[in-house]
Amino acid sequence: MSVLPEVIAANAEYAASFGDRSELALPPARGFAILTCMDARLDPAKYAGLREGDAHVIRNAGGRASDDAIRSFVISYKLLGTREWFIIHHSDCGMEFFTDEVIRGLLANSLETAALGDQGFYDVGTGPGAREGDYIDWLTISDQATSVTEDVRRVRNHPLVPARIPIYGYIYDVKSGLLLEVPTATEVGRAS
């Protein structure tokens, strides 16, 4: 059973009370952007108090500062005027449970969904898989504070990112809903 009818029905309900959202401007009204993980337990609109039109939210697996995340950040300030950025990773992130080597092996084995056990992900599918995963940097995480700091540093040092934009590093705790600052990351991300 596909979720498609549920999504279309939910959207009709949303649009029925769309109201003054039709008047929202393109640039984010509160002038900031968040890069965070795609994890289904994270809702940046709720954990950071956003409504439509407030901020840019860039999401990928891990909330990592990939080339594509940086592309979005650059558009966010250069064309749409954001002035402050957050990079928010989180506890219990799926990106902690595998390495490049592991996911490459799983994909080479089959294209079915792997299982997660005590020893990490393992393949339960039947092949064929594909080796194209060998060419992707999966940007896995071994320590959240380290990954946040590395990503803040990468964005901070990027030649297309102006020094005036502060970049704050946080970890979202999936057990409490709290945002916990990573002081070393925020220090690295300080504006000048």
Question: Which of left, alpha, beta for 126 (phi over 0: left; psi -120 to 50: alpha)?
Answer: beta
93 binds Zn ion (CB under 5 A): yes
C-alpha separations of 161 from 5, 22, 185, 191 in Å: 42, 31, 16, 11
Q: Which is nearer to Zn ion, 69 or 93 (CB)?
A: 93
Smallest distance, Zn ion to C-beta of residue 26, A: 29
Judged by beta carbon, residue 93 or residue 171, the one nearer Zn ion is 93
The candidate with the shortest Cα–Cα distance to 96, out of 138, 141, 38, is 141
Stretch that binds Zn ion, among 12-20, 91-99, 166-174, 180-188 (CB under 5 A): 91-99
User: Exposed e or buried b for every residue in 54-88, given b needs 16+ CB within 10 A?
Assistant: bbbbbbbbbbbbbeebbebbeebbeeeebbbbbbb
Task: Quote the least distance from Cβ 90 to Zn ion, whole Å.
Answer: 5
Mark the segment that binds Zn ion (CB under 5 A) among 36-44, 49-57, 65-73, 162-170: 36-44
Nearer to Zn ion (CB atom), residue 70 or residue 139: 139
Total residues in contact with Zn ion, by rule CB under 5 A: 3
Span of 46-54, 87-95, 104-112, 151-159 interacting with Zn ion by CB under 5 A:
87-95
State the minimum distance, in angstroms, from the CB of residue 186 to Zn ion: 20
37 is an interface residue for Zn ion by CB under 5 A = yes
- What is the separation of C-alpha 150 from the centre of its chain, rounded to a whole number of angstroms? 15
Pick 37 or 48: Cβ nearer Zn ion: 37
Contact 153, 188 (CB under 8 A): yes
**Binding to Zn ion by residue 39, rule CB under 5 A?**
yes
Stretch that binds Zn ion, among 35-43, 66-74, 113-121, 145-153 (CB under 5 A): 35-43
3 state SS of 159: coil
Alpha carbon distance, N-terminus to C-terminus of the chain: 53
Closest to Zn ion by CB, 54 vs 96, is: 96
Paired with 179 in beta bridges are 172
Residue the block writes with tokens 């697996």: 61
Binding residues vs Zn ion (CB under 5 A): 37, 39, 93
